[in-house]
Amino acid sequence: MPETPLPVRLLVCVTCRREGDDPEAPRQGARLRDALAGMLPDDVELQPVECLGNCKRSCTVALSAPGTWTYVFGDLTAESGPDILTGIGLLAHSSDGLMPWRGRPEVFKRSMIARIPPLSTLKDAAE
Amino acid sequence: MPETPLPVRLLVCVTCRREGDDPEAPRQGARLRDALAGMLPDDVELQPVECLGNCKRSCTVALSAPGTWTYVFGDLTAESGPDILTGIGLLAHSSDGLMPWRGRPEVFKRSMIARIPPLSTLKDAAE
């Protein structure tokens, strides 16, 4: 486990709605972003994105850090901030670029949408 | 449209099976990779990956190029090579980092799993 946590980049789709949401109400993804803004450590870079392409299983976030895989998670709500915070902690302390399974919040076990390896892994594999 | 096509990196999940596949047969994702290896232009970097995390809607590929978004597509089969080749061409000629909707093969319209912006876009947005 690295001594210094890796700086995590968190992308939040602010366009996401959930089925049955009031179309006049603020979007669930935007509410999730607002909630996260108030609870993240300073070294986490929070970036709103208009559509991460996972519209069928919204709300959606993507997490990555230098040298780690990029993870996309779905089926989230405006109240998922604490679970996302747990996932950020797991990735920030990863020593192999992967988010460990153990310790993941349930929604991160059940609702991984995709994961993409870092460029460095691919270069190693090609050598 | 750029004059020189962008070099596309294509990740193919070689672990993917399709529901109902013979468990003794070579995996559909590995067969897709083999098929692609015989049809891609030299400037496309083909990389097999063990699990892109989209197990519910396999087979799966991810496409990106320098400065473009990364796209994850699912619901593919060992016979999807020609459609993937079309998608690669669209991304290689993108002038704004996005894969245009027009011209996409049907499976790329129907089965986008996720898309992730390039770091450069995020830096621009933050400035």
Give the ipTM.
0.90
Question: Per the CB < 8 Å rule, is B70 touching A72?
Answer: no
Query: Model-level pTM?
Result: 0.92
pLDDT of residue B2: 53
- Nearest CA to A1 out of A98, A69, A94, A103 is that of A94
Q: What is the pLDDT of residue B121?
A: 62
B125 in reach of chain A (CB within 8 A): yes
**Average pLDDT over every residue of A7-14:** 97
Position A115 scores a pLDDT of 97
Looking at per-residue confidence, does A3 or B79 come out higher?
A: B79
- Indicate yes or no: CB of B52 within 8 angstroms of CB of A114: yes
Amino acid at B33: R
User: Any bridge partners for residue B11, and if so which?
Assistant: B47, B62
Residues B86, B105: contact at Cβ < 8 Å?
yes
Q: Which domains does chain B have, with CATH numbers?
A: 8-126 (3.40.30.10)
Nearest to A114 among B113, B122, B125 (CB): B113
Mean pLDDT of A96-102: 96
Higher pLDDT, A101 or A121: A101
Residue A52 is nearest to which of B9, B47, B114, comparing CB atoms?
B114
CA A118 to chain centre: 15
Cβ neighbours of residue B68 closer than 8 Å, sequence gap 6 or more: B6, B91, B94, B97, B98, B99, B118
Section A44-67 average pLDDT: 95
Task: Express as a percent the part of chain B with pLDDT over 90.
Answer: 81
Residues of B in contact with A11 (CB under 8 A): 116-117, 122
Q: Enter the tokens of residue A115.
A: 């994961």
Beta strand pairing call for B61-64 and B45-49: unpaired
Half-sphere exposure of B90 (CA within 13 A, CB side): 20
